[in-house]
Structure 1
Amino acid sequence: MQYLHIRRREKMDNRTYLKKIIIDKVNGEDINEVEDITIEEARLNVFLNGEKAISMMCIPIDQKAHAIGFLMSENVISSMDDVEEVNISDDGLRVDIKAAVDEDSLTNLYKEKTLVSGCGGGVTGNIAGQVEVPFNQTRFVVSPDTISTEVKKFYQESELYTLTGCVHKAMIYLEDGTTVTAEDIGRHNAIDKVVGKCKLNNLDTTKSVLFVSGRLSSEMVVKAVMHKVPIVVSRTAPTHLGVTTAHKHGLTLIGFARGKKMNIYTHSGRVIG
């Protein structure tokens, strides 16, 4: 089993999105001035065929993956075969993509602009069901032990959370045991980034498990549906709309995955002991 580090590891001082600050730390009656680390929010501008498509507040890392993952989540881009170029500006705050696009989905993105519940800042144009996705009939299965093991690793190996306590994480577990991870201030951003990494590296997500931090609300489930990910796992709860969306589209939804315990809300046949 391998752990896929697509992003190059850097020393903290070279990561411009990590900022050192001085705070007053209170412990009972003791107050001490100490150094702390915060994480930067930046506005990432995504241009599609020369026109601005969207701006997203995020951590300025994995920007190409973020842009590709988001546009594929929204069905604006159908597959990597439709992408001609992906370029990033020197300051890291603009991604330019040349690609064949689904004009109806692009129009929906601008027209609907639904503020999703993921972190209070995500936008989707296709959450209300404008895009029809076939029922997921994959026979990919996973054992409860694998889920328990990967959940434990998922929370132990969260680098930016350890440093800042201010990020969400997503991880794709592939059929061969490879894992791909991404972190961001937004849960929805983390999913877009991790799926975008897979797409940019020609990795098949149709036989995979998506692990996410935080609750499983409907837009989190929709992103998995759009990428044909068959199983989604969280340590916390789903919403009712998240459950009904997963049931409708053939997605196995697992919540409260802690230790050897988990709740399987939909399509439990993919979890085989």
Structure 2
Amino acid sequence: MYNLYQTLPIDKIKTSGEVCVEVDCVIKEERIAFYLNGKKLLSVMSIPNEQDFHIIGFLISEGVLKHISAIQNITIAKDGKSVWIEAKIVEENLKNLFREKTLTSGCCVGVAGNLEGHIIEKFIHSAYKISIDEIFKHLQVFSHSSELFDKTGCVHKAMLVLENQILVSEDIGRHNAIDKVMGKAAMKGVDASNAVLFVSGRLSLEMVVKAVMHNIPVIVSKAAATYMGIKAAQETGVTLVGFARDNKANIYTHSGRILG
């Protein structure tokens, strides 16, 4: 396990106005280098865990990797800061990553190259349905803090609810957290076409595109949805649920999957 946080002394102001010195835990992000077929692909600011899931989820999200079976080998450096993957890829989508990059709206600015064109012409036809009660039950689980969040208060979470298991990943970036949990699902060989993705951040265009590329029919967040996120969800068949909290929620698109 790599070091995910650092302890250091800080001046803490109490509600009484008293100032005292305490030891605090802060998240320790690293520059993680991804290598694809012997060449450096990109570097990502991330916490050094689940790096193999991260690159797999990212490559599938971008359409560079079609299926987990295309992977021939994956290796993580001993210090956790480099990941090498050998795989059969879709060369055109790889070129798109570098032809015209788009800075995403992520909290840790991300880069995507395949936000337009054939990659989002997919349409999710899943007949999957879930009740409102089930959504709020899973939200209670999603709201449980982790040890890393308790120590640092500085991670986003992504949770994939499947028929007989729940997968969870965390990272400083909401995009990274989704890539990690989806890479984890791919590595486990699970079918995400009958699943719900719970995320801690706002529902923007690139978040929806990631779900579409992994065939996820429903996305739920406590946060808001953006106009482009809603538009993309409508056009790709994704059920988008935002402001899901306090037994209330907004269903922005394809509400037929949500049962009363």
**TM bucket normalised to smaller:** over 0.9
1:156 matched to 2:144? The reply is yes
Question: Match for 1:106: what amino acid?
Answer: L
Alpha-carbon RMSD across the aligned residues, in angstroms, is 1.2
My pick for the range that moved more, 239-248 or 119-128, is: 119-128
Q: Within 2, Cα distance between the matches of 1:235 and 1:151? A: 9
- Residue 147 in 1 paired to residue 135 in 2? yes
Cα distance in structure 1, aligned partners of 2:166 and 2:72:
27
Match of 2:234 among 242, 247, 270: 247
Moved over 6 A (4+): none
Deviations 1:5-42 (A, max 9, x none): xxxxxxxxx75121101000012420000010001110
Deviation at 1:71, TM superposition (A): 0.7
Alpha carbons 1:116, 1:123 under 8 Å: kept: yes
Please state if 1:113 is matched with 2:101: yes
**Where does residue 23 of structure 1 map in the other structure?**
10
Cα distance in 1 for partners of 2:43, 2:207 equals 19
Unaligned runs of 5+ in 2: none
CA distance in 2, matches of 1:79, 1:15: 28
Match of 1:103 in 2: 91
Cα offset, 1:133, TM superposition: 3.7
Aligned to 2:215: 228
For residues 33 and 220 of structure 2, what CA distance do their matches in structure 1 show? 30
Q: Can you list the C-alpha shifts for 1:224-255, whole angstroms capped at 9, x where unaligned?
A: 01111000000011000000000000000000
* Contact preservation (8 Å) 2:201, 2:221: yes
Cα contact 2:203–2:224 (8 A) shared by 1:
yes
Distance 1:63 1:268 in 2: 35
* One-letter identity of the residue aligned with 2:28: E
- Equivalent residue, structure 1, for 2:123: 135
2:2–2:49: 8 Å Cα contact kept in structure 1? no
Give the one of 86, 96, 106 matched to 2:74: 86
Preserved CA contact (<8 Å) 1:24 1:33: yes
Amino acid at match of 2:13: V
Number of aligned residue pairs: give it.
259
Residue matched to 2:112: 124
Do the aligned residues in 2 keep the contact of 1:40 with 1:59 (CA within 8 Å)? yes
Q: Distance in 1 between matches of 2:48 and 2:6?
A: 13
Structure 2 residue 166 is the aligned partner of structure 1 residue 179: yes
Q: What is the match of residue 185 of structure 2?
A: 198
Q: Is 1:268 aligned to 2:259, yes or no? A: no
SS of the residue corresponding to residue 45 of structure 1 reads: strand
Contact 1:46 1:54 in 2 (8 A): yes
Counterpart secondary structure, 1:105:
helix
Contact 1:133–1:226 (8 Å) recurs in 2: no
User: Could you tell me how far apart the structure 2 residues matched to 1:237 and 1:150 are?
Assistant: 18
Equivalent position of 1:11 in the other structure: none
Residue by residue over 1:132-180, the C-alpha shift from the partner in whole angstroms, topping out at 9 and shown as x without a partner, is 442111101111111001111101143322211111000000023x110
Alpha-carbon distance between aligned partners in 2 of 1:57 and 1:266, rounded to the nearest angstrom = 32
Instruction: Give the TM-score, by structure 1 length.
Output: 0.92
Amino acid at match of 2:256: G
2:204 is equivalent to residue 217 of structure 1? yes
- State the distance in 2 between where 1:23 and 1:66 align: 32
Give yes or no for the alignment of 1:63 onto 2:51.
yes
Q: Are 1:82 and 1:99, in contact at CA under 8 Å, matched by a contact in 2?
A: yes
Summarize the Cα distance change of 1:51–1:15 in structure 2 as closer, same or farther, 3 Å threshold: closer
Moved more, 122-131 or 142-151: 122-131
Residues in 2 aligned to 1:237 and 1:29: alpha-carbon distance in whole angstroms? 34
Q: For residues 180 and 90 of structure 1, do their structure 2 counterparts lie closer, same or farther at Cα, with a shift above 3 Å needed? A: same
